[in-house]
Amino acid sequence: MRDHVTAFAPGRVNLIGEHTDYNDGLALPFAIDTGVTVEAWALPGDRIEALAADLDASDVFPASHPAPASGWRAFVRGAVGELARAGLPVAGARLKIDGTVPRGAGLSSSAALEVALCLALIELNELPAPDRRALARLCSRIENEWADANTGLLDQLASLCGKSGSALLIDFRSLDVRAVPLELRGFRLVTLDSGEQHANADSGYNQRRAECARACEMLHVDSLRDVTLAMARELPDPLARRATHVVSENDRVREAVAALERGDLPALGGLLDASHASLCDDYDVSTPAVEAAVSRLRDAGAVGARIMGGGFGGHVLGLLPPDAPVPEDAVEVRPGPGARVVS
Ligand code: GLA
């Protein structure tokens, strides 16, 4: 057991490939510079004391029996519970959580929290670290089973596998992750807050996931990865539109990688716009506040802009050409390194 460790896990931006992760599809996220830091100190006995510094809120529970809770506490108890379930039981500790990524903003504050907690607890207890894919799965179980959000692996893999200067092409069928250099040639990626908070557990997220499962049942396939646009269109509404989004979004991810590889940033912008239209019209995850934020980025000169993450609020993403200034309340984002033990 070590006395004291610090771990950091970044949030993420998803360039393109939305609502594809739980459909065995493709996405192109990257880790950002902001995220969650967890400091951990060893305590004698079985007591976990957690402090969310930015909320000025605390929690105390036994490491051997974490009971369910809500809000940020669900993630701390879930991290301890899921590590034990994976054969990695942890001893008493004091945990201090500090975040620079805004909560409920579509930038994966929850994945950053899960990943930073797990890395800190594994290191403090000197446990054998699972590989990054296994750790991503463990972290997503925290979200699924402790926080009631039936999310996929996008956020956790992006946070764990982040690489400076590159986006990550993730194939969720094989869990293969390939770095794709993000050479923007003077263009800039920015996020803008729609002003509307979202929580995957409460939004239509779980419902969308259930609709995709129903579409698979009706088409007698294991996942929407095996579906063509012609097959998707045979489904009844709204399942036809849901499946059409997923199938076309996988194609847009492939096209985005090709556009980046040939340095065609305007084409990438067009794909962001097409992704937004599909998420808005076929997947129905936009809101008036999100539409207003996307319009503001387009008015500021963006060659492409779209809703990001689960939808129903949060930050939107835009691609600005070299001559367009970054709007005052937008934040420029760049690919940074993945989660790590800092000390
Ligand atoms: C949220 C979820 C991810 C993913 C996206 C949509 O961020 O946590 O698993 O499904 O929405 O692409």
What DSSP letter does each residue of 101-130 carry, written as one string? SPTTSSS-HHHHHHHHHHHHHHHHTTPPPP
What's residue 298's pLDDT?
A: 98
Block residue for tokens 């893999």: 157
The answer to whether residue 171 scores a pLDDT higher than 90 is yes
What's residue 130's pLDDT?
A: 96
What's residue 73's pLDDT?
A: 98
What is the residue-averaged pLDDT of the chain? 96
What's residue 106's pLDDT?
A: 83
User: What is the C-alpha separation between 120 and 343, in angstroms, rounded?
Assistant: 10
Rounded mean pLDDT of 50-65? 96
Q: What is the pLDDT of residues 67-108, one digit of tens each?
A: 999 999 999 999 999 999 999 999 999 999 999 987 877 899
User: What is the C-alpha separation between 21 and 331, in angstroms, rounded?
Assistant: 26
Percent of the chain with pLDDT over 90: 94
Backbone angles phi, psi at 183, to 5 degrees: -95, 105
Among residues 303, 311, 232, which one has the least CA distance to residue 274? 303
The alpha carbon of 18 and the centre of ligand 1 are apart by a number of angstroms equal to 7
Quick check: is 284 catalytic? no
What's residue 282's pLDDT?
A: 98
What ligand 1 atom has the least distance to the C-alpha of 152?
Answer: 9
pTM of the model: 0.97
The answer to whether residue 35 scores a pLDDT higher than 80 is yes
Specify whether the backbone of 9 is left (phi greater than 0), alpha (psi in -120 to 50) or beta.
beta
Catalytic entry in 21, 155, 193, 282? 155
Q: Which amino acid type is present at position 280?
A: C
Backbone angles phi, psi at 157, to 5 degrees: -65, -40
Residue 223: C-alpha distances to residues 27, 204, 217, 296 (Å): 16, 20, 9, 36
What does the CA dihedral 325, 158, 224, 173 come to, rounded to 10 degrees? Answer: 140
Ligand 1: residues with CB < 6 A are: 18-19, 21-22, 151-152, 154-155, 200, 309-310
Residue nearest atom 10 of ligand 1, based on CA coordinates: 19
Contact between 61 and 112 under an 8 Å Cβ cutoff? The reply is no
The alpha carbon of 144 and the centre of ligand 1 are apart by a number of angstroms equal to 12
Sign of CA dihedral 253, 257, 259, 264: positive
What ligand 1 atom has the least distance to the C-alpha of 18?
Answer: 12
The alpha carbon of 155 and the centre of ligand 1 are apart by a number of angstroms equal to 7
Residue 324: C-alpha distances to residues 188, 269, 327, 331 (Å): 9, 14, 9, 14
Confidence band (pLDDT; 50, 70, 90) for 158? Answer: very high
Q: What is the pLDDT of residues 243-274, one digit of tens each?
A: 999 999 999 999 999 999 999 999 999 999 99
Sign of CA dihedral 16, 143, 6, 57: positive
Probe residue for ligand 1, chosen from 155, 308, 315 as the CB with the greatest number of ligand atoms within 8 Å: 155
Confidence band (pLDDT; 50, 70, 90) for 200? Answer: low
- The 3-class SS string of 36-87 reads EEEEEEECCCCEEEEEECCCCEEEEEECCCCCCCCCHHHHHHHHHHHHHHCC
User: What is the C-alpha separation between 156 and 113, in angstroms, rounded?
Assistant: 10
Among residues 255, 257, 264, 227, which one has the least CA distance to residue 242? 227
Q: What is the pLDDT of residues 288-315, one digit of tens each?
A: 999 999 999 999 999 999 999 999 999 9
User: What is the C-alpha separation between 104 and 96, in angstroms, rounded?
Assistant: 20
The alpha carbon of 286 and the centre of ligand 1 are apart by a number of angstroms equal to 14
The answer to whether residue 199 scores a pLDDT higher than 80 is no
Sign of CA dihedral 54, 57, 60, 61: negative
